[in-house]
Amino acid sequence: MTDIAWIELALTAARPQAVGALLRYFRDLDTAEEAFQEACLRAIRTWPEKGPPRDPAAWLIFVGRNSGVDAIRKRARNEPLPEEEAFSDLSDAEGDMADRLDSSHYRDDILRLMFICCHPDLPNTQQIALALRIVSGLTVPQIARAFLVGESAMEQRITRAKARVAKAGIPFETPGAAERVERLGVVSSMIYLVFNEGYSAGIVNPDSAAFCDEAIRLARLLLRIFPGDPELMGLLALMLLQHSRAAARFDAAGQIVLLEDQDRTRWDRKLINEALALLDKAIRHRQPGPYQVQAAITALHARAPSAQETDWQEIVLLYDLLERIQPSPVVSLNKAVAVSKLKGPDAGLELLEPLAERLQSYFYFHGVKGGLLMQAGRNREARDAFDRAIALANSPAECAHIRQQIDKLSVAEPL
């Protein structure tokens, strides 16, 4: 491995801890990020010659902190002094920064950094963009390509997100136990949003597909901080199981391959085995949560030697549990699919009916409905559902998949 390669890996791994600590010191996202970037530049200049430090994160925090203080001093020399009453009567901030690094702040720094990026005032797209920029360190061009927008538009999106975070005045004190639990749930949701951004794009946008790897990396990081949290185990297991099918989800032409039609020999058994071990460990805690249940459903598909051997009865029972602990029309939609596999298309359509109003603008609802109607021989209604799905498609691959289903319909539709 070249010097630059191992340095890049070290900087990427240390980024959340280092930026989180610098944010605690400077209480400003831009200052923390600039300080980290300056520390990275110095690392690139000095590490190849002197070798890597024993603790790269601590080195980056120390160098970044000193760099940030120097930058603040330089700016201060060019600015007029504030009125005397504007000075803080709290302990000297620079003195606090000079204190020895305290590793006990590690988990709170990273949680605070991630929690800030997924502030509830921010739209989901801004949460993901800010997390990928601040926590993961992806460049603006990389994020822009993933979202299929221009670089200037993405730069503005990230700038607006930072401004809203600054305006929100998020407190920087160490969170208590209850608040940590709350933050962990929000952070987990943000990580899963990042994963889904990549998973939904797939082969259509290779830049977005890298988000899956980044979400998995962040989940592993959190699990090292909270090794006994069963929902984090469930989240990581769920993403690993879904990501294990990446090579089989699209054909050579980039067309969607449904789960039941995928070549299971192309599934990544290493990821599956890791996920199954994590899930078994999580279940032993006897504290079921939404991620664990979703992972358990996905695990049943992974364990089935073929689509025909899938345990649909158990999957339906798990969806019943998921409806109780996290009710949503999308969960009910997925349950309808499972019921149709067990009892036939009419049973699935019966469960879809109450969801029509809430999911009328949801691509997958109309795709599923069209598929079940086609199985039931109601081709004219199926065509109407497929037409609606095409109008709501999120990508050319989704649109092409629905057109394939329309082609399967009989030319002579029943009156």
Neighbours of 155 (CB within 10 A): 16
Check whether 415 has a pLDDT greater than 50: no
Check whether 189 has a pLDDT greater than 80: yes
Domains present along the chain, CATH in parentheses: 3-95 (1.10.1740), 106-242 (no CATH), 299-359 (no CATH), 362-415 (no CATH)
* pLDDT score recorded for residue 208: 63
Q: Is the pTM of this model over 0.85?
A: no
* pLDDT score recorded for residue 96: 44
pLDDT (average), residues 205-230:
83
Assigned token pair, 367: 């795709």
pLDDT in tens, 314-371: 999 999 999 999 999 999 999 999 999 999 999 999 999 999 999 999 999 999 999 9
The rounded distance, in Å, linking the Cα atoms of 409 and 415 is 14
Percent of the chain with pLDDT over 90: 45
DSSP one-letter string for 275-329:
HHHHHHHHHTT----HHHHHHHHHHHHHH-SSGGG--HHHHHHHHHHHHHHS--H
pLDDT in tens, 369-411: 999 999 999 999 999 999 999 999 877 888 988 999 998 886 5
Assigned token pair, 166: 């600054």
In a 10 Å sphere around its CB, with 0-12 CB exposed, 13-18 middle and 19+ buried, how is residue 245 labelled?
buried
Torsion over CA: 51, 56, 59, 61 (sign): positive
Residue 121 vs residues 131, 160, 180, 267: alpha-carbon distances, Å = 14, 11, 19, 38
